[in-house]
Amino acid sequence: MKSSPVMLMMYNEWRRLWHARIPVLLLLVLIVLWAISAIAAHHHWQDHARTVTQVTERSLHDWESQPDRHPHRVSHYGDFVARPIHPLSVIEPGILDQSGHLVYLEGHRLNSANFNPATEATSAGRFPIITPAMIVQWWMPLFLIMIGYATITGEKIGGTLAFMRGNGMPAWKIATGKWLALFIPLAILLLAQALLVLFWIWGSEQALVRLSTMLLGQSLYIAGWCLLVVAISWSNQQLHSGLLALLLCWVCVCIIFPRGLANVSQIMHPTQPRTEAEYHAEIKLKAIGDSHNPDDPHFATFKSNLLKAHGVDRIEDLPLNYNGLLMQEGERLTTVVYREQQALHEQQLAKQNATIRQWLWLSPALALQYLQMASSGSDLTHHLAFIRQAEDRRYRLIQYLNQIHTHQVQRHDDKNTRVSADFWKKAPRPTISLAALDVSQTAIITSIAVLLAWILLPLLLLSRIMHRT
């Protein structure tokens, strides 16, 4: 069967690379690096998964083993919830290591993990862990540059480009052949990774759509890099100038812009440290109402309204335990204030992310990272969805306990009363589930748009310079 000139060009480039030896060695090193990262990431993921399972089981066991006791003690005994992790996060653990995967739920507290996502969401903060996602995002382009920087410049220096052009070979066929020669081996690696992962994630939530989104992003990203290598190689007359230009692009796209964007967004929209946020919450709480202060106006009104509603003059005459009602109202107020603080925190994070998204076109590497984190359910949006579910669970649980306090505990014997352990077993502890991929829709669409533009840019450059021999 007769091969097309484009395919012949591709085969010949492979033969050249094979003959040169070093590119083959580089490809092998990349594969070894990828294998190491896959093993390390799998080990890391297993650790997470094991901890999540152990803690969840232990927490359920401990919760249900509680003896007859006072409901308020139960509310401070607390409950652990584990953040559900998608098996695809074996490729990209995202902010999991920064945000943690366990939250302790107790009365009057909002124990969401305090972290700084805009900074942590960028790669530079994650040097210690090599993940398969990082291989695609950083190392694959770097190795590609080292393998392919001479792809056209070498032909120019050897005179074969001028010869082929002079003998009627269209420039676009040469560029396509060279691009395919660089892209296909890497695409095979990406596809192999996707197939292996498919077995791993089979049966998990939105497995196919999440994996396809990730593979699409990775393919666009690497296709863009291959085009850039061909374009810059074509635009340079000397090997070292092409190599330097490509390395400069890599440093900007993979290191400087992601880190710079994170820092700028953090400076523009700073988040409060946890202690500071708690301090502000305490001040707000004192201003709204202090249940321990007998002269507090809010609780004075609360008490008088309650007495009026039940047609009595003293709390001792109430048919319910006033302490339990006080706990309910206190919890309601505390939750309002802490949720406000959490909303402010999330608002700042959203602003940081919006700033980064606005400048995302500067760094397709960051766009890919957003896409990989979103696909694997390990981005900020998925984390916040988990925090909201956990907080909802906490509030429902604590208010359930406060209800028991109100109805099952007599006020005159409040401190000595023990309530049956059966009540803890019936407590609402809704399952926390992984948010659907839709929660990260904005990040996904923006990232794909950036990655498409990333393909167009070197294409435009190539179309401008291709006529030069």
Binding site for another protein (CB under 8 A): 2-3, 5, 8-9, 12, 15-16, 19-20, 158-160, 162-169, 467-469
Query: What tokens appear for 190 in the block?
Result: 């990406």
Dist CA 75 CA 242 (whole Å): 65
How many Cα neighbours within 13 Å face the side chain of 274? 9
Determine how many CB atoms are found less than 10 A away from the CB of residue 370.
28
Q: How far is the CB of 151 from another protein (least distance, A)?
A: 13
- Kindly tell me which of 18 and 104 has the beta carbon lying closer to another protein: 18
In 3D space, the residue among 460, 14, 419 whose CA is nearest the CA of residue 224 turns out to be: 460
Question: What are the backbone dihedrals phi and psi of residue 89, each rounded to the nearest 5 degrees, phi first?
Answer: -70, 0
Measured from the CB of residue 49, what is the shortest distance to another protein in angstroms? Answer: 49
Q: Which of 30, 286, 278 is nearest to 135 (CA)?
A: 30
Q: Which residue lies nearer to another protein by CB, 21 or 412?
A: 21
Q: Which CB, 159 or 297, lies closer to another protein? A: 159
CB 169 → another protein: shortest distance, Å?
A: 6
The least CB distance from residue 1 to another protein, in Å, is 12
Q: How far is the CB of 19 from another protein (least distance, A)?
A: 4
Residue 91 CB, nearest distance to another protein (Å)? 37
Smaller CB distance to another protein: residue 19 or 314?
19
Q: Which is nearer to another protein, 33 or 465 (CB)?
A: 465
As to burial, measured by CB atoms within 10 angstroms (0-12 exposed, 13-18 middle, 19+ buried), residue 208 is exposed
Between residues 26 and 398, which has the closer beta carbon with respect to another protein?
Answer: 26
**What value, to the nearest 5°, has the Cα angle with vertex 66 and ends 389 and 70?**
90
Non-local (6+) Cβ contacts of 174 within 8 A are: 9, 152, 155, 161, 164, 165
**Residues β-bridged to residue 81:** 103
How far apart are the C-alpha atoms of 198 and 256, rounded to whole Å? 33
Residue (15 or 310) nearer to another protein, CB: 15
CB 88 → another protein: shortest distance, Å?
41
Tokens of 271: 């988040």
* Under 8 Å between Cβ of 436 and 109: no
Q: How far is the CB of 229 from another protein (least distance, A)?
A: 20
What's at 98, amino acid-wise? Q
Paired sense of beta strands 79-82 and 102-105, if any: antiparallel
Would you call 464 helix, strand, or coil by DSSP? helix
Cβ-based nearer residue to another protein, 90 or 150:
150
